[in-house]
């Protein structure tokens, strides 16, 4: 991503009078920002979700409890309207997961099944291991080298602030099984797509290509991937992999939606997104309990003002993001007819780090108003960057339908230490940083809801 | 512990001529020190142990393989004599371990059985939880409050450089079960005795008191202990605990011993200790693969000199330290008759941190020689401290028989993040720091083997 600063642009050619926001509106946003820093209840919200529900993989009984929790919480916090919308998807369940080196150096390896993977037989699968350095290397390899073997993709994700290392490594997770299967492999194990060195493997979605034989797919923790590499340097290695996971039929969950109704243009929506589901290994504190707390608390704080902003603030807590953006796609499909009412959207789903940049993907006519918003964000150590905003996974389908987005970009330096692992727990959230996130969201949300402009 | 520096003493009253070491001996030690920094093979040794053997809980088949590995490695590295001595002990095996909150907020808790614990029934044990702040609080509590309940001891270990936090917290692990059982509890779960925030609980030995009913004992990871505390703040909590562990009869292992024979006084021994066994959860890289590598490489480097030092260097890789210092006690018992030949001992078993201090427990007549040794350690950023050396667990029984000891004290700030967890893996070892350890050990060992003095 390019990260050219807007600063030059700002100082050179823009003054507040050129945007569509009044001094009074800007002062109100600044006051909300300062209130969020001091009085945000975001931590209480995520603590409540983690302690009272915990892991909530889409389609499970815990996911259903999370939906009830969300409806209750939005009502309790004074939203004007709260409802849910159905989302259907194929569900998947995890079972036992065991991996071990059986020859020549018997010892266990910590493994987890990738989401959507088929299982092995009950007795497990025992085969020689072939290491490949990356998905690209696997694509090039001669099939005779991997036939009837377990392919081990050993590339390691790079740590960066904006998460670019994830994008370049995750292909091994998503496509590794099918690429290996096409060449005759029996299973694929990958080095976890993560930046930590703990014995907690990273799960995440993998997708079988159409028409290709399905084979089991799993991830080793980074220390276990190191160990397997060292063993392979010494001698041929045989491993045994036992996975009890399986597809388990169609399931139903719900997008949970709450609104603070606009006082002048209630049909015009500022959409704030997060996802309610989580992977099963952790407690979903950071992914995406943080997002749920940030967007919920943002609407609550704005709802505390003496009057509602001009437009409606709609919080959508999406179902099943993790297994294929099912909630986001269902929402876009169900709201095709009123998509034009969605003036702009933002999503909080990149961990618990501080927001350091504000990026937009809007009509150039809105640039000056965005610059006014950026100026109110600046005391939070947030830079405005000239760059097309990514938006977020759940609002991606709305973006495709033309809804403008902004990104309040978080520091993701440490996010992939715990992403999709058992280590996604409450202690990884710093309350002050969480409040900085809320402060940024209230500034953007309030001003977007007040601005007399389409984006 | 007091940490008064020897520095004053050194500069005020001691010059090299007052010790028993010659300038030539000191120069040789300094040369060995510098060689260790540059050419130590300690990392290769620990890598070999971790990759080729891995976890090696005393009494297991892997422990037997570790004994063979050790004999082969000492022979391969050119020790003059290598042999093993039998050690017998009651063995213990781990089984399944599952814990979950069943009411009112169902979710899993990451748990591990404490070493020596009995198991639950196969169906597990379901009961209300009572939190107590510490072992001391449990001792004072009215039995009616814990009868037929699971006691949860929630005190958290403090992080310190010298590991004092361990000593003050570990009582909950060692004695919690019997204190709880005496008051009628069904089981005990403790907050892990560890300083990290990962979902990897810390195992470790617990001891049933004589005549007290045995109840299951387990540890929750720190994030899970946090979660249970937060749940208990909201409502009464019921958990289900299933442990498949059990005692499993007498087992046999071996202390593995290697010597570099002294050229003038071969019967006089400088004993270097580490333990060969590990807990089963991790790979035993740090606890105590590091120690095995440091003491083995120390003897190897000294063995590379053109001539052996005056005295014999004996490396003892002890069996079953983790479950009750069985190897250390067996050695002291088997060597009662030649205990006087053990001139001095040192043990490496405190993680992978740098050595920062040199402490001794010797005859005051040896102080000046120790000060000479301290001066050669100084370029390694090692201070001499006036303090009775702790020695080490395995050499504790020798100390009781009057053998003098030194402690090359390691920085333990991060040791208890991984101690007794699955996270005890090779990546936690920094090769340069490991070599600093070896450099310190070669200085001490060579000079102790050369000095014309008893300690």
**What is the pLDDT at residue B12?**
37
pLDDT in tens, B347-379: 999 999 999 999 999 999 999 999 999 999 999
Mean pLDDT of all residues belonging to chain B: 95
Contact A227 B425 (CB under 8 A): yes
**What is the pLDDT at residue B20?**
87
Structure tokens at B285: 């890289």
| Mode of pairing for the β-strands spanning B4-5 and B383-388 | antiparallel
**What is the pLDDT at residue A15?**
45
Q: Is the ipTM of this complex over 0.85?
A: yes
Q: At residue B170, does pLDDT exceed 60?
A: yes
pLDDT in tens, B117-164: 999 999 999 999 999 999 999 999 999 999 999 999 999 999 999 999
Q: How far is CA A246 from CA A197, A214, A420, B321, in A?
A: 28, 12, 19, 43
**What is the pLDDT at residue B19?**
75
For A104, nearest residue in chain B (alpha carbons): B52
Confidence category of residue A109, pLDDT binned at 50, 70, 90:
very high
Structure tokens at B322: 């983790």
Please state the φ and ψ torsions of residue B454, each to the nearest 5 degrees: -95, 155
Q: What is the mean pLDDT of residues A451-455?
A: 92
| Chain B partners within 8 Å of A62 (Cβ) | 106-107
The region, left, alpha or beta by phi > 0 then psi within -120 to 50, assigned to residue B60 is: beta
| Chain A partners within 8 Å of B429 (Cβ) | none
Q: At residue B188, does pLDDT exceed 90?
A: yes
Contact A108 B55 (CB under 8 A): yes
Q: At residue A16, does pLDDT exceed 70?
A: no
Distance from CA of A205 to the nearest CA of B (A): 22
Please state the φ and ψ torsions of residue B183, each to the nearest 5 degrees: -95, 5
**What is the pLDDT at residue A69?**
98
Count of CB atoms within 10 A of residue B47's CB?
20
Between CA B183 and CA B189 the distance in angstroms is 15
Mean pLDDT of all residues belonging to chain A: 95
**What is the pLDDT at residue A385?**
86
Confidence category of residue A18, pLDDT binned at 50, 70, 90:
low
**From start to end of A136-294, where are the E strands?**
150-153, 187-191, 217-220, 238-243, 246-260, 265-275
Q: Which of A45, A49, A198 should one mutate to test binding to chain B, selecting the residue with the greatest count of B CBs within 10 A? A: A198
**What is the pLDDT at residue A209?**
97
Dump the DSSP string for A132-159.
ESSHHHHHHS-GGGTTTSEEEE---PPP
Q: Give me the percent of chain B exceeding a pLDDT of 90.
A: 94
For A228, nearest residue in chain B (alpha carbons): B51
Dump the DSSP string for A15-72.
-GGGSS--HHHHHHHHHHHHHHHHH--HHHHHHHHHHHT----TTSHHHHHHHHHHHH
pLDDT in tens, A396-414: 999 999 999 999 999 999 9
For A69, nearest residue in chain B (alpha carbons): B105
CB pairs under 8 A between A and B: 94
Q: Which member of B108, B198, B283 has the closest CB to residue A423?
A: B198
Q: Which of B149, B90, B99 is nearest to B323 (CA)?
A: B90
pLDDT in tens, A183-212: 999 999 999 999 999 999 999 999 999 999
pLDDT in tens, A23-33: 999 999 999 99
**From start to end of B261-322, where are the E strands?**
265-275, 311-318
pLDDT in tens, A378-395: 999 999 987 789 999 999
Q: Which of A62, A63, A107, A421 should one mutate to test binding to chain B, selecting the residue with the greatest count of B CBs within 10 A? A: A107
List the beta bridge partners of residue B84. B256
Q: Which member of B54, B108, B428 has the closest CB to residue A107?
A: B54
**What is the pLDDT at residue A12?**
38
Q: What is the mean pLDDT of residues B409-425?
A: 98
Between CA A92 and CA A89 the distance in angstroms is 10
Contact A223 B52 (CB under 8 A): no
Catalytic residues of B: 321
Between CA A196 and CA A415 the distance in angstroms is 10
Contact B199 A226 (CB under 8 A): no
What's the DSSP call for residue B221? -
What's the DSSP call for residue B16? G
Q: Which of A222, A289, A425, A428 should one mutate to test binding to chain B, selecting the residue with the greatest count of B CBs within 10 A? A: A425
């Amino acid at each position: 991503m390019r990260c050219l600063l807007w600063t030059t642009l700002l100082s050179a050619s823009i003054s507040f009078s050129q945007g569509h926001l009044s001094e009074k509106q800007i002062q109100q946003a600044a006051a909300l920002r300062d209130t969020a820093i001091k009085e945000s209840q975001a931590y209480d919200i995520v603590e409540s979700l983690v302690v009272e529900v915990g892991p909530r993989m889409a389609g499970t009984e815990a996911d259903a409890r999370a939906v009830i929790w969300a409806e209750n919480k939005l009502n309790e916090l004074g939203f004007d309207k709260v409802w849910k919308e159905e989302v259907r998807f194929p569900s998947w369940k995890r079972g036992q997961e065991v991996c071990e080196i059986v020859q020549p150096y018997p010892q266990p390896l910590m493994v987890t099944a990738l989401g959507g993977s088929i299982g092995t037989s009950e007795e497990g699968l025992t085969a020689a291991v072939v290491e490949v350095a990356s998905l690209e290397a696997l694509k090039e390899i001669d099939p005779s080298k991997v036939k009837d073997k377990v392919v081990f993709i050993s590339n390691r994700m790079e740590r960066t602030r904006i998460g670019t290392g994830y994008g370049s490594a995750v292909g091994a997770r998503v496509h590794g099984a099918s690429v290996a299967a096409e060449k005759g492999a029996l299973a694929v194990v990958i080095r976890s797509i993560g930046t930590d060195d703990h014995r907690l493997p990273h799960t995440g979605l993998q997708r079988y290509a159409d028409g290709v034989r399905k084979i089991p797919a799993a991830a080793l923790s980074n220390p276990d991937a190191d160990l397997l590499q060292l063993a392979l340097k010494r001698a041929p290695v045989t491993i045994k992999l036992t996975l009890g996971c399986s597809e388990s039929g169609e399931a139903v969950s719900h997008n949970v939606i709450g609104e603070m109704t606009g006082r002048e243009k209630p049909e015009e929506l500022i959409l704030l997104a997060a996802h309610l589901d989580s992977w099963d290994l952790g407690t979903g504190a950071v992914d995406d309990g943080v997002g749920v707390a940030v967007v919920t608390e943002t609407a609550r704080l704005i709802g505390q003002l003496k009057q509602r902003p001009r437009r409606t603030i709609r919080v959508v807590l999406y179902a099943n993001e993790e297994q294929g953006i099912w909630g986001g796609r269902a929402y876009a499909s169900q709201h095709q007819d009123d998509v034009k009412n969605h003036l702009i959207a933002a999503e909080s789903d990149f961990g618990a780090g501080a927001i350091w940049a504000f990026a937009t993907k809007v009509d150039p006519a809105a640039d000056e108003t965005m610059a006014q918003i950026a100026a109110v964000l600046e005391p939070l150590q947030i830079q405005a960057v000239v760059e097309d905003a990514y938006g977020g996974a759940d609002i991606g389908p709305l973006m495709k339908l033309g809804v403008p987005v902004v990104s309040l970009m978080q520091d993701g330096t440490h996010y992939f230490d715990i992403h999709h692992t058992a280590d996604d727990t409450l202690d990884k959230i710093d309350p002050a940083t969480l409040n900085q996130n809320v402060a940024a969201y209230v500034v953007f949300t309030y001003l977007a809801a007040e601005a007399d402009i389409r984006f």
